[in-house]
């Protein structure tokens, strides 16, 4: 174990119990980072789909297979309490059935990949999925409580305002039947409909349809909008500040019926990005709107 990890164990003694609990065998590579918890962490959850007993493949060219285990620990001083795998997002864990949220000094997310050699033909014949043990790769993220405590953080966390969204988060909500997904999906749907009615149906459709190339782009204030047409679909990617973006996809002919293809932003950030495009479009005279969006051979799907 390297010096940095040993120093962190001295600073956070609970790690001295969590690391052995998460690993089976040795050697072990341990990656530990300490983060001050904020609203973006409140919807972190374990990936129970890849739980212990399901094999995963190694993507670095080595002929290894393994299993992944993921756990959450609540830290009270030097004591640690492992949370059930099906307990949901961190915000739910802290609010439901685990005492006062302000009791906890930190939350630990631990993910360990247990790597083995690929099984031999003889081992496969005996239904063994794993060969000889090779090593563990343990990733630990320690979320320290904010100075005001987890209770205040929960009170100031709003899914539409300050939680960074991405497609894994969205899909996780959907697969688990989380009611918050319905609220979020409805809000994103209204956003897509507003863009369709105020921009796409007010001239952008004709500009895109008239182009002889698939890719087009335009600068709308601080937002870059790229469109790509292929196989009867129109993809619209909005790039805002700080790398935040949202992509809509819809039907080329007839009503657009756009939905969210991908997102890397909070809902409020996505709303501001699309609203900026709407403001520029609406304040530009119809005669000058074709100059806003032009052919661009740099736009593609990759």
pLDDT in tens, 178-205: 777 788 889 999 999 999 999 999 999 9
Distance, CA of 302 to CA of 289 (rounded, Å): 27
Mean pLDDT of 104-119: 88
Is residue 40 one of the residues assigned to a domain? yes
Is residue 255 one of the residues assigned to a domain? yes
Distance, CA of 27 to CA of 49 (rounded, Å): 26
Same-domain pairing of 229 and 95: no
- The helix (H) or strand (E) run that includes residue 28 is strand 28-36
CA 235 remoteness from chain centre: 21
Mean pLDDT of 30-42: 91
Same-domain pairing of 207 and 283: yes
The residue ranking higher by pLDDT, 232 or 61, is 232
Under the banding of pLDDT at 50, 70 and 90, the label for residue 62 is confident
Is residue 173 one of the residues assigned to a domain? no
Same-domain pairing of 130 and 229: no
Q: Out of 15-24, 39-48, 71-80, 112-121, which region has the weakest mean confidence (pLDDT)? A: 39-48
Tell me which residue range forms the domain holding 90: 3-157
- 249: which residues sit within 8 A by CB, 6+ positions away? 233, 234, 235, 236, 258, 259, 261
The residue ranking higher by pLDDT, 136 or 194, is 194
Distance, CA of 293 to CA of 301 (rounded, Å): 18
Return the closest-CA partner of residue 71 out of 110, 35, 105: 110
> Considering 122, 157, 192, which residue would you say is the last residue of a domain?
157
Distance, CA of 126 to CA of 123 (rounded, Å): 5
Same-domain pairing of 150 and 29: yes
Distance, CA of 234 to CA of 29 (rounded, Å): 45
| Beta bridge mates, 75 | 80, 106
Q: In terms of DSSP bridges, do strands 233-239 and 223-230 run parallel, antiparallel, or are they unpaired?
A: antiparallel
Is residue 300 one of the residues assigned to a domain? no
Is residue 171 one of the residues assigned to a domain? no
Q: Are 8 and 34 in contact (CB under 8 A)?
A: yes
Structure tokens at 143: 């979320």
pLDDT value at residue 52? 45
Q: Out of 17-26, 84-93, 100-109, 127-136, which region has the weakest mean confidence (pLDDT)? A: 84-93
Is residue 121 one of the residues assigned to a domain? yes
Q: pLDDT > 90: what percent of the chain?
A: 46
pLDDT value at residue 166? 83
The residue ranking higher by pLDDT, 33 or 125, is 33
Number of domains the chain is built from: 2
Position of tokens 């993809």? Answer: 235
Q: What is the pLDDT of residues 289-302, one digit of tens each?
A: 999 999 998 888 65
Under the banding of pLDDT at 50, 70 and 90, the label for residue 87 is low
Under the banding of pLDDT at 50, 70 and 90, the label for residue 151 is very high
Q: Out of 18-32, 54-68, 160-174, which region has the weakest mean confidence (pLDDT)? A: 54-68
Q: Out of 36-50, 130-144, 248-262, which region has the weakest mean confidence (pLDDT)? A: 36-50
Same-domain pairing of 22 and 86: yes
Phi, psi of 143 (to 5 degrees): -95, 105
Q: Are 266 and 200 in contact (CB under 8 A)?
A: no
Distance, CA of 183 to CA of 187 (rounded, Å): 6
Structure tokens at 135: 């090593």
Is residue 144 one of the residues assigned to a domain? yes
Q: What is the pLDDT of residues 259-290, one digit of tens each?
A: 999 999 999 999 999 999 999 999 999 999 99
Question: Is pLDDT of 220 > 90?
Answer: yes
Mean pLDDT of 214-239: 95
pLDDT value at residue 60? 54
- The helix (H) or strand (E) run that includes residue 81 is strand 79-82
Mean pLDDT estimate for the chain: 86
Return the closest-CA partner of residue 104 out of 61, 136, 66, 73: 73
From residue 106, alpha-carbon distances to 136, 140, 147, 206 in Å are: 24, 12, 11, 54
Same-domain pairing of 192 and 105: no
């Amino acid at each position: 174990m390297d010096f940095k990890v040993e120093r962190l164990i001295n600073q956070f003694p609970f790690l001295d119990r969590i690391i052995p609990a998460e690993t089976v065998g040795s050697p072990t590579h341990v990656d530990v980072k300490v983060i001050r918890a904020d609203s973006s962490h409140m919807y972190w959850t374990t990936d129970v789909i890849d739980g212990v007993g399901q094999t995963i493949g190694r993507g670095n060219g080595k002929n290894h297979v393994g299993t992944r285990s993921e756990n959450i620990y609540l830290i009270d001083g030097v004591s640690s309490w492992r949370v059930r795998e099906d307990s949901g997002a961190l915000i739910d864990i802290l609010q439901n059935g685990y005492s006062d949220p302000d009791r906890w000094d930190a939350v630990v997310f631990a993910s360990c990949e247990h790597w083995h050699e690929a099984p031999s033909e003889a081992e496969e014949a005996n239904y063994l999925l794993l060969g000889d043990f090779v090593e563990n790769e343990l990733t630990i993220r320690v979320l320290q409580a904010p100075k005001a405590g987890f209770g205040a953080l929960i009170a100031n966390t709003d899914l539409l305002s300050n939680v960074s969204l991405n497609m894994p988060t969205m899909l996780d909500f959907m697969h688990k039947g989380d009611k918050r997904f319905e609220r979020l999906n409805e809000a994103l749907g209204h956003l897509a409909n507003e863009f369709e009615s105020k921009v796409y149906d007010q001239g952008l459709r004709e500009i895109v349809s008239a182009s002889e190339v698939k890719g087009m782009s335009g600068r709308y204030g601080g937002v870059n909008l790229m469109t790509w047409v292929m196989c009867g679909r129109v993809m619209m990617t909005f790039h805002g500040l700080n790398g935040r973006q949202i992509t809509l996809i819809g039907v080329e002919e007839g009503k657009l019926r756009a939905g969210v293809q991908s997102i890397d932003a909070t809902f409020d950030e996505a709303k501001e990005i699309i609203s900026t495009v709407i403001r520029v479009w609406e304040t530009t005279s119809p005669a000058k709107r074709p100059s806003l969006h032009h052919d661009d051979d740099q736009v593609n799907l990759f």
